[in-house]
Chain A
Amino acid sequence: MKTRNQILTALMMGCAALAITPASAKNTIRWASQGDALTSDPHAANESPTHSASRKVYDVLYYNNKNMKLTPWLATGFKLKDSTTWEFSLRKGVKFHDGTPFTAEDVKFSIERAQSPTSDLKGDISSIKEVKIIGPHTVQIITKEPNPILTNQLTNVFIMSKAWSEKNKVTKPQDRAGKEETYAVRHAMGTGPFKLKLREPDIKTVLVKNTEWWGLKDYPHEVDEIIYTPIANPATRVAALLSGELDFILDPPLQDLNRIKNTPGLQLKQTAQVRTIFLGMNQGRPELLASNVKGKNPLADQRVRQAMYQAINIDAIKKKVMRGYSVPAGIITPPAVHGYTEELNKRRPYDLAASKKLLAAAGYPDGFSIQLDCPNNRYINDEGICQAVVGMLGKIGIKVSLSAIPKTIHFPKIKNRETDFYMLGWGVSTLDSHYVFNYLVKSADKGWNGTGFKDDAINDLIGKIEKEVDFPKRDAMIAMVWKKMKNNVNYLPLHHQVIVWAMNDKIDVPIVADDGVRFIYTKFKK
């Protein structure tokens, strides 16, 4: 019976498609990128492609707009009642895709859902102690301690319908140790600009315009339908764009960019991404794990680190490895992040003679040997960059052996302190320097800061930045940490990744630094 119904439905849909297609002048965008969102459950995976997909169907209280500026979204504003009580007023007249009105209940429910043990977002909003409903369109969020960046942390906390979640038994995100798939993995109920029509993970996702969306008067986009197909192979992805089967690809490979640029009817857009690539050096260990220097750690000496820095010819890497698509970095955080300045981003000059002098002064006139650990499937041309670094450090006598491995093996090495010298790239979801400090600068035994360096003054400052709600004072402390880091050469900054999007010239989708497509800004050329 089920089979027969399915065939009937398929036939009917086929007929309907035939009937509709010629008459409508629908604005459809067919697009692809390397990999699909992991799930439709907006709290189950803290990963940028998944957030980008959720953002189309779900709304948030505060939104990062196309210029990465924090914009009131489902919240219309807030008042700080005291240093830990934030009172948000919520947008009125907003409806979920099934017609249920959006209220403070949904906000409380969603934040608590995002804090539950199986949620992957709980780390982002661990500062929230309680959500109180004051009225149908007013909520108070009470934080454990003063938290200056609460609104930034809410930009990925998507608001789900409480009624829908209860009805479909998805009040908690999917537990991967469980046995059943929950309803929210392939279904969605948000207030966002698009409705989820079809979801076949890894194969196809179809979204249709939410004609009732509250934001249509401010963001009158012209997209009626979005068809997304992940295409893992870069050559196939480009071929599909060239053949006109796709309108837009998020991640064209560097070697095909010229070809796309020179094809009539196609265009490229580029911008610096919110991700910086750099090298980490273990400075805390008494002796390196893989080096010919025994009994001491050459990387603990600031002069050695500076020598390595000045031996790296970043312009050559940009030109040869990145084909021009990178922005050399002086600090390990990109332009979109609060705390970044042009001044800080200035690099120390590339100077081999100075490098050699520094090495000799530190007691290593003939260099030393070291191993560089590098991912080979995570960042744009990651392995190529590492190979270039190996050659450049070789010129000042540092013999680097390269170990390029998949990210699933590389990252645990950093976090378990099993590497002396490694590549890492860091994106900043809150767009605030504190995020970088917290994970990469504050000293810790485990986790992402694999440098092992410890400076109590810096640790102290980071603790203060976390709680300071007097913004000028806070900014001064952020600047101080960056300056100290730069002088210490605790990391070797390489470049800010540049992202390039390719699309045909019938559509105009503004490129966004977090690499997440925001179709609500799309224009069609007639």
Chain B
Amino acid sequence: MAVMVVVAFVAFLMFNFVGDPVDNMVGQEASYADREAMRDRLGLNDPFLVQFTRFAGNAVQGEFGISYRLQRPVADLISERMPATLELVMASAILAILIGIPLGVYTGIRRDALSSRLVLMFSLVGVSLPTFVIGILLIYVFAVILGVLPSFGRGEAVQLGWWSTGFLTVSGWKAIILPSITLALFQMTLILRLVRSEMLEVMRTDYIKFARARGLSDRTINFGHAFKNTLVPVITIIGLNVGSLIAFSIITETVFQWPGMGFLFIQAVGFADVPVMAAYLVLVALVFVGINLLVDILYFVVDPRLRVDRSVAMGGDE
């Protein structure tokens, strides 16, 4: 809660620097008096603290006002755009995990094989190329040259209650391929490299040597013993990265004209659409807080020591 109040406060401070929204809202012909009248109506002439308190008071009640740009309630806009972003993030996270973890384990175990080296080399591309370059590159190859995938948009979306999904149509599936790869690539290489280095470390421990001495199969050692021990840092990173996937989706969404929240935010910045920017930033803060909480809970699930330590510590207190 405190985090979100701080985020909202800092965000509000910054809005003083994005410029004058009234300019975008009225035509160049509008007179000075008309502009002032508009500013008064929107409460933009009030002192900073008054504006902030009003925003916070309304936000607590789930009321974020009307978008200056699209003239529609911000809450509606965000709930319309959120499914697109979440589906994209979900697809990217799954891609990153399903490809990143097995490759990490593989390159960790066979550290000297040629195939491992090739995978590592390729993964460098993922870290070093900026997202928008990867996006444009993919568009160029798969949309312009090969003509097999769409270069923009989300395909046909189907409305399930308030949630609009692209997963029920062929065009929706086709449309999500390029953006999700673009968004996943960086996270995938990060996970791959992390899992690999953790694996290398764990494989050197006595614990693994004992396991081998006991004559356990490679498979059990690699996945049952070694891999499990790498999980704590990997979960932390994945957790934090789901958050940054949502944040980074801004760029991917802009490149692919993906109708999500990030795109809404970028458009809002260009227009100085304060209600949308404020609501988006608060929401992203909420997501980060939620994910951190979830990650902390997951630690207890995968690492039994935490549970033991806790009870010991508590016993000591008494």
Contacts and interface: CB of A to CB of B under 8 A. Distances in A.
Contact of B71 (A38, A46, A446): A38
Interface in A55-84: none
A24 interface: no
B228 interface: no
Given A47-B27, A201-B70, A236-B152, A245 B143 contact: yes
A contact face: mostly helix, strand, loop, or mixed: loop
Nearest to B142: A243
Contacts of B34: 122-123
Nearest to B30: A123
B66 to A, nearest CB: 6
Nearest to A47: B27
B151 A45 contact: no
A179 B152 contact: no
A178 B271 CA distance: 19
A38 B21 contact: no
B133 to A, nearest CB: 10
Contact of A236 (B37, B147, B156, B255): B255
B152 A202 contact: no
Interface stretch (B187-195, B206-214, B215-223, B261-269): B261-269
A124 B27 CA distance: 10
A177 interface: yes
A245 B152 contact: yes
B257 A232 contact: yes
A439 B28 contact: yes
A53 to B, nearest CB: 13
A179 B159 contact: no
B136 to A, nearest CB: 5
Given A2-B161, A38-B71, A243 B143 contact: yes
B83 interface: no
A3 B18 CA distance: 40
A136 B160 CA distance: 48
Contacts of B140: 239
B78 to A, nearest CB: 13
Given A232-B257, A236-B136, A185 B19 contact: no
B270 to A, nearest CB: 7
A406 B270 contact: yes
B71 A185 contact: yes
A422 interface: no
B138 to A, nearest CB: 10
A41 interface: yes
B311 interface: no
Interface string B8-24: 00000000011111011
Contacts of B26: 46, 120
B158 interface: yes
B66 A181 contact: yes
Contact of A123 (B18, B25, B29): B29
Contacts of A439: 28-29
Contact of A181 (B73, B151, B152, B267): B73
B263 A243 contact: no
Contacts of A177: 41-43, 66
Contacts of A35: 267
Interface in A274-307: none
B63 interface: yes
A408 B271 contact: yes
A255 interface: no
Nearest to A237: B152
Contact of B263 (A179, A232, A415, A427): A232
Interface string B242-278: 0000000000001111010001101100111000000
A185 B71 CA distance: 7
A175 interface: yes
Interface string A80-124: 000000000000000000000000000000000000010011111
Given A203-B259, A236-B136, A406-B270, A411 B147 contact: no
B70 A45 contact: no
B31 interface: yes
A388 interface: no
B18 A408 contact: yes
Contacts of A6: 159-161
A128 B160 CA distance: 49
Nearest to A184: B71
B206 to A, nearest CB: 54
A98 B71 CA distance: 25
B270 A229 contact: no
A445 to B, nearest CB: 9
A244 B272 CA distance: 34
B158 A7 contact: yes
Nearest to A444: B32
B100 interface: no
B72 interface: yes
Contacts of A38: 69-71
B98 to A, nearest CB: 27
A185 B68 CA distance: 12
B76 interface: yes
B71 A236 contact: no
A242 interface: yes
A179 B63 contact: yes
A412 B20 contact: yes
Contacts of B17: 409
Interface string A6-25: 11001000100000000000
Interface of A: 2-3, 6-7, 10, 14, 35, 38-39, 41, 44-47, 117, 120-124, 174-181, 185-186, 200-204, 229-233, 235-237, 239-240, 242-245, 377, 406-412, 415, 426-427, 429, 439, 446-448
What are the 4 A-B residue pairs with the smallest beta carbon separation, nearest first? A46-B27, A408-B19, A409-B19, A123-B29
29 contacts: A3-B161, A6-B161, A10-B158, A10-B159, A14-B156, A35-B267, A38-B70, A39-B70, A45-B25, A120-B27, A123-B29, A177-B41, A181-B76, A202-B70, A202-B263, A203-B154, A203-B259, A232-B266, A239-B151, A243-B144, A245-B143, A407-B23, A408-B23, A408-B271, A409-B17, A409-B19, A412-B20, A426-B28, A447-B31
Given A235-B139, A407-B19, 15 more contacts: A3-B161, A6-B161, A38-B71, A120-B25, A201-B70, A202-B264, A202-B267, A233-B254, A235-B136, A239-B140, A240-B151, A243-B144, A408-B270, A412-B20, A447-B32
